[in-house]
Amino acid sequence: MFCSQCGRSIPSDARFCPNCGRAAGQAAAQPAAAPPPVQPVQEQVLYVFSASRKYSMFKVVPCYIVFMQDKAVLAYTTPALQKAENERLTQEIKAQGKGFFKGSAAMMSFWSTYGQQYYNMPVQAILAKDPANAVVPYAAVAEVYFRGYSETSSGGDDSASVTQGKFRFKLANGETLEFTHSSSARRDIQDLLTRLFGARLKFKR
């Protein structure tokens, strides 16, 4: 017979291997298999809302409000981010040999659908895109205000009347986050905000 540990030949009636000392017939210990890595669960994005954060009368920054089940992630399109994205896309367009018109169309298409990427992006990846990006936990929200964008057009000498849409987070610590937008007071938006904030929501058309 042979030792299960060192493989040396040992007498059939031996109780221990004279070479390594292991008991005859004792199986070699096998290292325990490492557990599979834990994959982070990506949180579901319920809605990506296009808006602009209003810091003051003269400072407004484009922003996407990424609504999740228990938090909103503010993804700003800052001038620095716009510049970096434009430079990257310009290099891609040149590498693909696209002319001016096709390149311009590609650039316009890129920015028109820019917010769609956040539907499939983890929170940490969104935060890493720009230092200004931040999380707003719903538990920290005292009040939410939404007013839809409206526009009235008329012919002749009458001018069009426009009411700018507004969105506001009023936080429990007294801070207020103001946004403007160009979305109407649609029922699906109202239903979503009602589900997330309940009585804390003030919704106006």
Return the residue matching tokens 């319920």.
Answer: 46
pLDDT the model gives residue 28: 47
Global pTM reads 0.74
Name the residue ranges covered by the structural domains of the chain.
47-204
- pLDDT digit string (tens) for 129-169? 999 999 999 999 999 999 999 877 665 566 667 788 999 99
Q: Tell me what percent of the chain is helix, strand and coil, each rounded to the nearest 5.
A: 30, 30, 40
> Is the model's pLDDT at 41 over the cut of 80?
no
Mean pLDDT on 16-20: 70
pLDDT the model gives residue 152: 73
Which CATH number is 47-204's, of 2.30.29.30, 3.40.50.2300, 3.30.540.10, 1.10.150.110?
A: 2.30.29.30
* Structure token pair of residue 28: 């070699």
174: left (phi over 0), alpha (psi -120 to 50) or beta: left
Q: How far apart are CA 178 and CA 54, in angstroms?
A: 5
- pLDDT digit string (tens) for 166-189? 999 999 999 999 999 999 999 999
Local confidence band at 25 (pLDDT 50, 70, 90 cut-offs): low
